[in-house]
């Protein structure tokens, strides 16, 4: 099993980077997990759009599925369109992104196969187990197994005791970053070849990769929001108190 990390920004793609996107290959089968904003150019640097065999989506937030649209366009507008792409997702997760084009334009480009988080199914050579994990919308934790190798993926998940079960004995575990470090700004796909450190390891060993590595100046609610609060406090200090007239330059209050 081979994992290529196409992106990992959270919320929106920082300059030169991309949101969530993971290409998993095994026995000649290519599975794309969570095609978030801006991953398609990076994907096309690795494989042709027609070479993707299936797409698997954890949940419907656009930083995890928006680039399904350009991927389907690249296939549908090809001079020789490939067969319909199997797309696996929780119920209703892809309605908005599939509605981006005029009705019917991409109907022949994909075959939607919805699953309920908690279901098990087969995707090519992979056995897939799923868990319903906490998030703002239904979010599937995903565990892929093939020939004794295991990849576990949380999508976007808050704390949950199910994460231990999901990650147990996983060989690779892409998950949210644990330390405030700058993201790798290398262009193109990022093969996972080294552990992310003890705090990022799943229980039972294996390798860990960050699903959303922190990017300087890019954290939603991070330094920008904190700076805004500091400015707001400074403005309050400068504002004259109620019932007291502000002094004008060159004048003295009597």
Whole-model pTM: value is 0.70
Residue at 55 is within a domain: yes
Residue at 232 is within a domain: no
Angle, vertex CA 178, rays to CA 10 and CA 170, nearest 5: 95
Residue at 231 is within a domain: no
pLDDT average per 10 residues of sequence, the chain (254 residues): 91 92 96 96 97 94 94 96 96 91 94 91 92 79 91 80 77 56 34 33 45 42 39 45 46 41
Return the pLDDT at 175.
Answer: 61
Residues listed for the chain: 254
Residue at 18 is within a domain: yes
What is the span of the domain harbouring residue 21? 2-223
Residue at 249 is within a domain: no
Return the pLDDT at 222.
Answer: 41
CATH of the domain at 161: 3.60.15.10
Return the pLDDT at 167.
Answer: 75
- Total domain count, the chain: 1
Residue at 239 is within a domain: no
Distance, in Å, from the CA atom of 244 to the CA atom of 78, rounded to the nearest integer, reads 71
Residue at 251 is within a domain: no
């Amino acid at each position: 099993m081979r994992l290529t990390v196409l992106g990992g920004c959270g919320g929106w793609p920082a300059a030169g980077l991309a949101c969530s996107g993971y290409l998993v290959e095994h026995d000649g089968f290519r599975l794309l997990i969570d095609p978030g904003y801006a991953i398609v150019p990076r994907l096309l640097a690795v494989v042709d759009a027609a070479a993707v065999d299936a797409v698997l989506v954890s949940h419907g937030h656009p930083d995890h599925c928006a680039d399904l649209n350009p991927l389907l366009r690249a296939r549908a507008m090809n001079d020789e369109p490939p067969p319909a792409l199997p797309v696996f997702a929780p119920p209703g997760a892809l309605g908005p992104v599939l509605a981006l084009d005029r009705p019917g334009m991409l109907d022949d480009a994909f075959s939607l196969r919805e699953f309920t988080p908690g279901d098990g199914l087969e995707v090519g050579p992979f056995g897939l187990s799923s868990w319903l994990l906490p998030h703002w919308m239904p979010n599937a934790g995903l565990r892929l197994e093939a020939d004794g190798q295991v990849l576990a993926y949380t999508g976007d998940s808050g704390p949950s005791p199910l994460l231990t079960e999901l990650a147990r004995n996983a060989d690779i575990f892409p998950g949210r970053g644990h330390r405030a470090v700058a993201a790798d700004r290398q262009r193109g796909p990022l093969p996972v070849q080294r552990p992310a450190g003890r705090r990022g390891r799943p229980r039972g060993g294996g390798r860990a990769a960050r699903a959303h590595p922190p990017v300087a100046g890019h954290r939603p609610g991070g330094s920008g929001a904190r700076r805004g609060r500091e400015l707001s406090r400074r403005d309050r200090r400068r504002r004259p108190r109620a019932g007291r007239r502000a002094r004008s330059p060159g004048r003295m209050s009597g």
